[in-house]
């Protein structure tokens, strides 16, 4: 591994993280949603970095920025996402894109010929924070974009198709974003762990064994509006308290299946008419359910459906659930795991393996080719929170490890 200085790589990564963190819809907070002006600015900056690294840059019909390093045969894909949740941390997704660019820059600068091509991908929608759909860009790259998704409406009331056109994209060209089945060698992503395992093990890096399966739902509850001062408690049909009981049922259910890494979250709730002195008549809330086991997740979903119905019946409200996202658990390729473990160990780590409870673009790209992920510890395991922090030296180790992994893959021919 010639000319590799993890400290210098870490400082470069940190400077790039800081630069992307300034691109936000909100002063003092990081909020960068798909197909917004902030997404455009972040994509332009990433494209500039890719060009500076000597990569040829293009953008597909869903806005994924691609930096290409030519090479024979199949292409190794390295990527992550540049969208964020609302009031996000600076590292989720962005670090993986930056790691890919720094890795590709290394191969471009050293001129070491690789027996495969290399593409760095900066996806625009992994979080699903703006549209009730997620992994849109990586699904298109995998050739699994569902055209019906073009009709979904964003939180700000824009259809995906219209948002794409306003972003300067032609939805008719989405099919061209897909790699051919024989084109992609593998997909590798570096990402902050977003959990506490590595920090507790005093390890900077870990290798992901599998990504949890995930279902996201929108639950709608219809009750009856009424005067908050006059309607007796016994005859109310309050949609908000019914929804609150449903959220508690989801929590209890997830706890019941905790052995299978089941987690359940109500992340957003809206109540209408939304006035202090009116009994809520219409509530909608999101439910996010995840597990390493698809059968456990599906069993929990069936139980949730039954409990929502029972609560609705008891409280004399109407309720229904719609699924907005479903992704099966995806195993990481064992030979990629082994290659990453060798690279981690060569950097002085143990090669610890762990599952991912967070969703990642690899879940979509896994439909195209084998995938692998390298996790980097983050302080306190905190993520989806402005306090998210990953030490520059850990990021530097991760980039050096990613480079060593690619070299190992090249040595295998």
User: In terms of CB distance, is 273 or 380 closer to ligand GLV?
Assistant: 380
Partner interacting with residue 359 (select from ligand GLV, Mn ion, none; CB below 5-8 Å by kind)? ligand GLV
User: In terms of CB distance, is 62 or 358 closer to ligand GLV?
Assistant: 358
Is residue 287 near ligand GLV by the rule CB under 6 A? Answer: no
User: In terms of CB distance, is 127 or 238 closer to ligand GLV?
Assistant: 127
CA-based max dimension of the chain: 78
CB atoms within 10 A of CB 117: 18
Q: Closest approach of Cβ 214 to ligand GLV, in Å?
A: 7
Distance from C-alpha of 357 to C-alpha of 263, rounded to nearest angstrom:
8
Q: Closest approach of Cβ 212 to ligand GLV, in Å?
A: 8
Which one-letter DSSP state was computed for residue 92? Answer: T
Distance from C-alpha of 372 to C-alpha of 394, rounded to nearest angstrom:
19
Binding mask 117-146 for ligand GLV (x = CB under 6 A): ----------x-------------------
* Long-range residue pairs from 226-232, CB within 8 A, at least 24 positions apart, any chain: 226/278, 226/279, 227/277, 227/278, 227/279, 228/276, 228/277, 228/278, 228/279, 229/277, 231/279
User: In terms of CB distance, is 117 or 206 closer to ligand GLV?
Assistant: 206
Instruction: Name which of residues 154 to 173 contact ligand GLV (CB under 6 A).
Output: none
Binding mask 87-106 for Mn ion (x = CB under 5 A): -----xx-------------
Distance from C-alpha of 38 to C-alpha of 26, rounded to nearest angstrom:
10
User: In terms of CB distance, is 287 or 308 closer to Mn ion?
Assistant: 287
User: In terms of CB distance, is 280 or 359 closer to ligand GLV?
Assistant: 359
Q: Closest approach of Cβ 378 to Mn ion, in Å?
A: 11
# residues contacting ligand GLV (CB under 6 A): 3
Among 122, 150, 148, CA closest to 137: 122
Q: Closest approach of Cβ 146 to ligand GLV, in Å?
A: 19
Which run of H or of E encompasses 7? Answer: helix 6-21
Partner interacting with residue 96 (select from Mn ion, ligand GLV, none; CB below 5-8 Å by kind)? none
Q: Closest approach of Cβ 144 to ligand GLV, in Å?
A: 18
Binding mask 345-384 for ligand GLV (x = CB under 6 A): -------------xx-------------------------
Q: Closest approach of Cβ 33 to Mn ion, in Å?
A: 12
| SS3 label, residue 239 | helix
Which one-letter DSSP state was computed for residue 278? Answer: B
User: In terms of CB distance, is 103 or 359 closer to ligand GLV?
Assistant: 359
Sign of CA dihedral 7, 11, 17, 18: positive
- State the DSSP string of 186-222: EEEEEEE--SSHHHHTT-SEEEEEEE-EEEEEEEEEE
Is residue 330 near ligand GLV by the rule CB under 6 A? Answer: no
Distance from C-alpha of 176 to C-alpha of 121, rounded to nearest angstrom:
15
* List of residues contacting Mn ion (CB under 5 A): 92-93
* List of residues contacting ligand GLV (CB under 6 A): 127, 358-359
């Amino acid at each position: 591994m010639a000319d590799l200085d993890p400290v210098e790589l870490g400082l470069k990564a940190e400077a790039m993280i800081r630069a992307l963190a300034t691109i936000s819809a909100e002063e003092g907070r990081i909020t960068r949603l798909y197909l917004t002006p902030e997404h455009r600015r972040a994509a332009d900056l990433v494209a500039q970095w890719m060009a500076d690294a000597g990569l040829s840059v293009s953008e597909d019909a869903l806005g994924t920025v691609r930096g290409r390093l030519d090479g024979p045969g199949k292409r190794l894909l390295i990527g992550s996402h540049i969208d964020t949740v609302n009031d996000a941390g600076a590292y989720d997704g962005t670090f993986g894109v930056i790691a890919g660019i720094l890795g590709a820059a290394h191969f471009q600068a050293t001129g070491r010929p690789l027996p495969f091509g290399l593409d760095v991908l900066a996806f625009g929608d992994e979080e699903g924070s703006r549209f009730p759909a997620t992994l849109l860009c990586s699904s298109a790259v995998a050739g699994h974009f569902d055209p019906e998704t073009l009709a979904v409406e964003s939180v700000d009331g824009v259809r995906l198709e219209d948002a794409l056109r306003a972003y300067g994209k032609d939805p008719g060209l989405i099919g061209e974003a897909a790699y051919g089945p024989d084109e992609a060698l593998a997909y590798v992503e570096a990402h902050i762990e977003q959990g506490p395992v590595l920090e507790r093990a005093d390890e900077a890096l870990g290798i992901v064994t599998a990504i949890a399966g995930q279902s996201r739902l929108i639950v709608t509850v219809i009750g009856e509006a009424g005067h908050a001062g006059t309607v007796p408690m016994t005859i109310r049909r309050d949609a908000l308290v019914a929804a609150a009981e449903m959220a508690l049922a989801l929590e209890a259910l997830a706890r019941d299946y905790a052995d299978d890494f089941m987690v359940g979250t109500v992340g957003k709730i809206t109540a209408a008419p939304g006035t202090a002195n009116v009994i809520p008549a219409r509530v909608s809330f999101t439910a996010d359910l995840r597990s390493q086991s698809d059968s456990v997740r599906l069993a929990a979903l069936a139980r949730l459906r039954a409990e929502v119905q029972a609560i609705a019946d008891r409280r004399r409200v109407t309720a229904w659930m719609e699924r907005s996202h479903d992704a099966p658990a995806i195993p990481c390729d064992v030979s990629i795991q082994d290659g990453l473990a060798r690279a981690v160990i060569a950097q002085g780590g143990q090669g610890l393996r762990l599952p991912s409870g967070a969703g990642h673009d690899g879940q979509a790209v896994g439909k195209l080719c084998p995938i692998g992920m390298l996790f980097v510890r983050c302080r306190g395991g905190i993520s989806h929170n402005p306090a998210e922090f990953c030490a520059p030296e850990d990021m530097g180790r991760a980039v050096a490890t990613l480079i060593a992994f690619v070299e190992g893959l090249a040595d295998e021919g």
